[in-house]
Amino acid sequence: MTAASPAFTIGVSLKTYLSHARTVAWATELAEVARRHPAVRDGVVELFVAPTFPSLVPVRDVLAGTGVRLAAQDVSATGPGASTGEVSADELAEIGCSIAEVGHAERRALFHEDDAVVAAKTAAALRNGLTPLICVGEDDRAPAAVAAREVQRQVDAALAAVEDSGRVVVAYEPVWAIGAESPASSTHIAAVVAALEGHLAALPGHADSRVIYGGSAGPGLLTELGGQVRGLFLGRRAHDVSAVEGVLDEALALAAVAPVAPAAAVAEVAS
């Protein structure tokens, strides 16, 4: 992370929970928060939102001037052409997206996307100037060391087809924690994220990349992690915009003190 980089990255995926009208209304509320909150206004937090495809342009317009980045929940592995139903990376970039989510566990389970598909989508995103949001996570509960090896493998697989250098964001989302009542333990999260941070740092061509945590993440978790994890990927708990504001408050408070270095948790992985 360079000196100019935000201290934290906070993202929200709306999936398909909200109607189009509710999505725009939600984004309008978020825009009001972003305009006045010092975490966003002063660049402490990089904030992004991922609505459904039909809502991307109206949400873009609502968020204009707030500093909130627009993200797509998916991206085509191919460019313009005969790919019915797909949305290409170059079109996403054209309408103002700067992030594209790839490899989410639901895409893998429901649409049978394998490592090769995730790799092609990651490459397409980078090729068109989008930051890939690479979702990784182990299927079943496992010790941190085992989980770390699996998610490192998933990151390597996602980057296997990449010819273009560029920043990536990795969202660590244990599959068993997605939609659960509570996230993984803070010790487990910190350990696996630290291992992923170290792994990313050793890869050439992906400077300023970072790892955030998803999987039933919500208000309170960033504080519980004590600065060991540099961001969250929020889901249903963010449907109330006040929850997002609460997470921004936490990030601002953590940034005001010396955060615990992510590498400090590596010992948990080795144990």
In the set 113, 173, 245, 250, the catalytic residue is 173
Residue 16, classified by CB atoms within 10 Å of its CB into exposed (0-12), middle (13-18) or buried (19+), is exposed
Cβ–Cβ under 8 Å, residues 215 and 204: no
Cβ–Cβ under 8 Å, residues 44 and 38: yes
Per the annotation, the verdict on 104 as an active-site residue is yes
Q: Which residues contact 85 (CB under 8 A, 6 or more apart)?
A: none
Per the annotation, the verdict on 173 as an active-site residue is yes
125: which 2 tokens? 């995103």
How far, in Å, CA of 211 to CA of 85, rounded? 30
In the set 37, 46, 101, 104, the catalytic residue is 104
Q: Where are the beta strands (DSSP E) in the chain?
A: 8-13, 45-50, 69-72, 99-102, 131-136, 169-172, 210-213, 231-234
The residue length of the chain stands at 271
Which residues are catalytically annotated? 104, 173
